[in-house]
Amino acid sequence: MKNSVLRDSILSRLRQMPGKIGFYYKNLSTGEELSYQDQMPMMAASVIKLFIMAEAYRQIQEGRLSKDQPVTIHKADCVPSCGALTYMHEGLQVTVEDLYTLMIILSDNSATNFLIDIVGEDNVNQFIEELGYTTTRLNRKMFDAEKSARGIQNYITAREVGDLLEKMYLGQLVSPEASADMIRIMKDQRLNSKIPFIIHTIPGRVPIAHKTGEDSGITHDVGIIFTEQPFILVFCGNETAVAPYERLMADIALELYHENQ
Give the count of beta carbons closer than 10 Å to the beta carbon of residue 140: 19
Find out whether 75 and 90 touch, Cβ atoms under 8 Å. yes
Separation of alpha carbons 249 and 235, rounded Å: 7
Contact 79, 109 (CB under 8 A): yes
pLDDT of 122 > 90? The answer is yes
Residue 1 confidence class, pLDDT cut points 50, 70, 90:
confident
The residues near 29 (Cβ < 8 Å, ≥ 6 apart) are 229, 230, 260
Q: What is the pLDDT of residue 138?
A: 98
Let me know: does 158 contact 24? Beta carbons within 8 Å.
yes
For residue 218, pLDDT beyond 80 = yes
What's the pLDDT at 82?
A: 85
Q: What is the pLDDT of residues 24-59, one digit of tens each?
A: 999 999 999 999 999 999 999 999 999 999 999 999
Q: What is the pLDDT of residue 145?
A: 84
Residue whose C-alpha is closest to residue 52's, from 136, 135, 134, 132: 136
Average pLDDT of the residues in 69-93: 94
Mean pLDDT of 55-68: 98
* Percent of all residues in the chain with a pLDDT value above 90, rounded to a whole number: 95
CB contact set of 13 (below 8 Å; sequence gap of 6+): 248, 252
Domain covering 4-259 assigned CATH 1.20.910.10 in the classification: no
Q: What is the pLDDT of residue 5?
A: 95
Mean pLDDT (the chain, rounded): 97
CA 216, 9, 158, 204: dihedral to nearest 10 degrees? 90
* Whether the predicted pLDDT of 81 surpasses 80: no
pTM for the model stands at 0.97
What pLDDT was estimated at residue 80? 83
**pLDDT, mean of residues 243-253:** 98
